[in-house]
Structure formats: C-alpha cells, structure tokens
C-alpha cells in the first residue's frame, strides 16, 4: 500500500504551479492528496508564503494542527517562509525545511531532516522555472509560470529577497510550445504568471510585449482565453493596452499591483508611479473597451497613513469603478525599510481601515457590474451547481447561469457559452445570466 502524501499550498499562483510540479514528481510513488490537514497523511509538504505576517501565521497554525492530529507524520516546509525564517519553522515542528532553491530538486532532500535553505539564493536565482504538465489539483485553468525574480526596491516587500533579484525567464519558443501543448490537451484558460511579469525576458533579450504579440498571432484563431496575473500600473504602455484589446484571446481584465492612490504614500513605498499614472494606465486599457475590468491590490495602514490618504484611496476606487479590490492590512516585514519607519499604525486602526476599504470596494464593484446588465459576454464554464452553471467571462466576472432544463446530462465544463447578463447576484459577488 502506498504512503499518503499531502501537498498544502499557501500564497501565489507560482506556488500552485510548483506544487503541481511536485505532485507530478511523486505521483507514482505516493497516494497524493491536496490540502489535507487533518493528520490522515504520512508525509506533508507545505509550500509556504511569507508575503504577510498573516500568511506566515497560517503556515504555523497548519504545522501545529498536523502535529496535534498525527505527531509521527513527516512535515516538509518549502518555499518563501522557509527562506525567510527556516529556524522558526524547524522549531515549531517542520522536520525538513527547504528554500526556494532546494525545493526545485526536492527529491534529493526527501529522506533528510534539518534545514537546507541557501541564504544567498535571492542574489543569484538562475535556476530552472518549474512548469507542470497539468493544472493544479485538476482545475480548469492552467497557471503557466514564465518568469521568476524581482529587482524592485519597494520598502514594504521582502519577496525579492525570497524569490530572487535576478530574473529567470522561459524562452518565447518554450512558452509558445507549452501553450500549443495545453490547447491540444483541451485547456481553455491559461494564466501567465511570474514574480514580476513585465521583467520577463530581461535575462534573454526578449520582451513581455513581444511575447504577448507572438501569443496573439499564433493562437488568435483558437478557442482559448489567455489571462495575465499582476502588473504594475507603469507597465501598461499604449502598445500593451492595444495588444490586450486587439487579440480576442486575451482576457479583457488586468490585475494591477497598485497598493495605494496617495502620491505621498506611494513615494514612501518607493513605487515608480503616482495617482495620475494609475489613472492614465486604466484610461489606456479602456480606450478601446470602456468595460475593460480592473482588479487591484491595495494596502491600508502603511506607516503615517492619514485620513487624507485614505480619502484619496477610497475616492479613487469608486471613481475608477474597480471590479474587485484585494485589500491588505500593512504587515511590517523584518528586513524591509518600512519595518523601521516612524508612525506605525496600531492593529485595531488597521482593522477599521480595511473594513472601510471593503465597503468602498463593494460600492465600486456594484457600480461596475450594473453597467453590464443586458450586455452579452462569453462565459467559460467551470462547474455545474444544481440547476446553474458557474464560470467567468472575458471581463473576469463570475456568472451564475440559469438552466432552463433541469437535467443537464452533458458535461459543459471548459465550454464557452454566449450569455446575457440579466441581474447582479446577491451580495454583488457576480452576475446572473442566461444562455443565448
């Protein structure tokens, strides 16, 4: 009987792709479960995150939960937290700790115990990018990592010290071949992901925009949807906006790593743009399609943030009709400049501010969605739930599609359906639509 191995993933889309790669590496040797945390497995691999203190807390909580449920299970911690504080992970119960370099060759360390995390990994990061063969945990969308590394110097972020300051990229040829392979396998949605996507190609004389153009030309006649993960506002050039709008295979949605709208706070964060630049980038994207959807990351409670800074943020969210805000309370990361800044905001106040951000983002989302009632979009179906089909359209809007027939026997998963939006769903999470 095979031993049971549980793979638990925290954090970003890169981690999900890497976890799938590890699954494929061990799938013949072990019975593998995803996200099992209740002591039912013999071995646990925790692919960790360290972007916030909350992300680290969840990792520690999971280790303690596993140890309490089954103390003799082997726990292997890998990834960003393992590079950030390997000793802490070992002390709370991890048997083996591997950093972002070592996890790429996890099989070499699998039978060992102790700490193996190269502290200087962030300076060199010239190693392979882990590209899985299939989607994470048998999901419909495929996360395709094409780049790793970030050399930005944002004062609040330590990811460059964990994922590396030196960029590593797949070649354009490798990416085109991989997308072609995935299409032949039946995948309909492919998400390009990386640590800092527009740094793609800085190591091999290729460029991100040239890559998008090549993808558009090679696959414009295919029934496929290509989505990008996070970009910075100053990465949105006229040419990039044209490419995303001109080729129908690209999703008409972009997630922007904005973090704040106040020029004063953005300067303290060492972001290379201001509020006007953010507005200009979104204007470029909506010039050809006024409904082009924007989601974004925003941080409240950055040191010295005041009421005027917050007002600028909340007003901007509503003004720009942001589809969805991923809101975070500022998390002081040891080793960053913001960690030592004066005028740190108390935790209770940060909690109040995130509540206000959520309220304003909900208003913005509802206003954006209300403009789309009676419009027609194309939904990629992900699952069936009772008498409804669930999926996302080209604007990254979740749809709940009413089925006029109760017994739908055919499997519509990964099928594109032309739909008409008839109302906003309860809680403004998405829309209700019908098949045309």
Answer yes or no: do 105 and 35 share one domain.
yes
Q: Which domain holds residue 213?
A: 136-370
Instruction: Provide mean pLDDT across the span 154-169.
Output: 89
Domain's final residue, options 370, 385, 400: 370
* Residue at 229 is within a domain: yes
Answer yes or no: do 265 and 397 share one domain.
no
Check pLDDT > 90 for residue 325.
Answer: yes
User: In whole angstroms, what is the distance from residue 356 CA to residue 358 CA?
Assistant: 5
The pLDDT value recorded for residue 412 is 83
User: In whole angstroms, what is the distance from residue 325 CA to residue 353 CA?
Assistant: 14
* Residue at 129 is within a domain: no
Please, are residues 295 and 323 in contact by the beta-carbon 8 Å criterion?
yes
* Residue at 126 is within a domain: no
User: In whole angstroms, what is the distance from residue 399 CA to residue 422 CA?
Assistant: 10
pLDDT in tens, 265-300: 999 999 999 999 999 999 999 999 999 999 999 999
The pLDDT value recorded for residue 388 is 86
- Number of domains the chain is built from: 3
The pLDDT value recorded for residue 205 is 87
Burial class (CB in 10 A: 0-12, 13-18, 19+), 188: buried
Give residue 408's pLDDT band: very low, low, confident or very high (50, 70, 90): low
Domain's final residue, options 60, 90, 118: 118
Answer yes or no: do 63 and 150 share one domain.
no
Answer yes or no: do 388 and 347 share one domain.
no
Tokens standing for 378? 């194309």
Q: Residue 13's closest CA among 137, 117, 97, 180?
A: 137
Which CATH number is 410's domain given? 2.40.50.140
Answer yes or no: do 366 and 381 share one domain.
no
* Residue at 124 is within a domain: no
Answer yes or no: do 346 and 259 share one domain.
yes
Domain's final residue, options 118, 152, 184: 118
Q: What is the DSSP string of 217-257?
A: HHHTTSS-EEEE--B-GGG--HHHHHHHHHSTTB-SEEEEE
Check pLDDT > 70 for residue 410.
Answer: no
pLDDT in tens, 32-71: 999 989 889 999 999 999 999 999 999 999 999 999 988 8
The pLDDT value recorded for residue 137 is 80
CA angle 160, 162, 165 (to 5 degrees): 35
pLDDT in tens, 180-212: 999 999 999 999 999 999 889 988 889 999 999
Please, are residues 86 and 103 in contact by the beta-carbon 8 Å criterion?
no
Please, are residues 270 and 311 in contact by the beta-carbon 8 Å criterion?
no
Answer yes or no: do 217 and 318 share one domain.
yes
């Amino acid at each position: 009987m095979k031993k049971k191995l549980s793979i638990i993933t925290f954090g970003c889309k890169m981690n999900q792709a890497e976890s799938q790669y590890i699954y494929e590496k061990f799938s013949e040797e072990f019975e593998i479960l995803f996200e099992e945390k209740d002591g039912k497995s013999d071995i646990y691999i925790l692919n960790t995150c360290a972007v916030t203190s909350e992300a680290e807390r969840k990792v520690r909580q999971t280790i303690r939960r596993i140890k309490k449920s089954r103390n003799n299970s082997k726990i292997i911690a890998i990834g960003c937290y393992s590079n950030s504080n390997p000793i802490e992970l070992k002390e709370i119960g991890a048997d083996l700790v591997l950093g972002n370099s070592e996890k790429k060759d996890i099989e070499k360390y699998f039978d060992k115990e102790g700490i193996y995390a190269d502290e200087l990994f962030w300076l060199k990061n010239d190693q392979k990018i882990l590209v899985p063969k299939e989607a994470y945990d048998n999901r419909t969308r495929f996360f395709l990592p094409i780049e790793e590394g970030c050399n930005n110097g944002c004062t609040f972020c330590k990811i460059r010290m964990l994922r590396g300051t030196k960029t590593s990229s797949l070649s354009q040829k490798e990416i085109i071949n991989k997308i072609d392979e995935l299409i032949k396998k039946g995948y309909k949605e492919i998400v390009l992901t990386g640590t800092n996507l527009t740094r793609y190609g800085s190591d091999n004389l290729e460029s991100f925009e040239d890559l998008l153009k090549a993808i558009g030309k090679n696959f414009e006649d295919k029934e496929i949807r290509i989505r990008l993960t996070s970009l910075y506002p100053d990465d949105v050039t006229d040419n990039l906006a044209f490419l995303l709008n001109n080729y129908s295979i690209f999703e008409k949605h972009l997630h922007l790593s904005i973090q704040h709208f106040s020029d004063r706070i953005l300067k303290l964060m060492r972001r290379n743009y201001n509020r006007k630049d953010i507005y200009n980038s979104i204007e470029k994207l909506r010039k050809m399609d006024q409904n082009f959807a924007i989601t974004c990351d925003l941080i409240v409670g950055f040191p010295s943030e005041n009421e005027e800074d917050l007002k600028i943020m909340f007003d901007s969210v509503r003004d720009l009709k942001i589809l969805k805000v991923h809101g975070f309370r500022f998390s002081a990361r040891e080793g960053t400049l913001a960690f030592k800044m004066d005028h740190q905001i108390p935790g209770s106040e940060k909690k109040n501010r995130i509540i206000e951000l959520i309220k304003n983002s909900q208003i913005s989302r509802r206003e954006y969605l209300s403009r789309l009632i009676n419009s027609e979009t194309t939904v990629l179906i992900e699952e069936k739930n009772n008498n409804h089909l669930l999926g996302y359209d080209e604007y990254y809007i979740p749809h709940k599609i009413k089925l006029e027939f109760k017994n739908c026997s055919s499997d519509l998963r990964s099928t594109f359906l032309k739909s008409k939006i008839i109302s906003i769903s309860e809680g403004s999470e998405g829309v209700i639509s019908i098949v045309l």
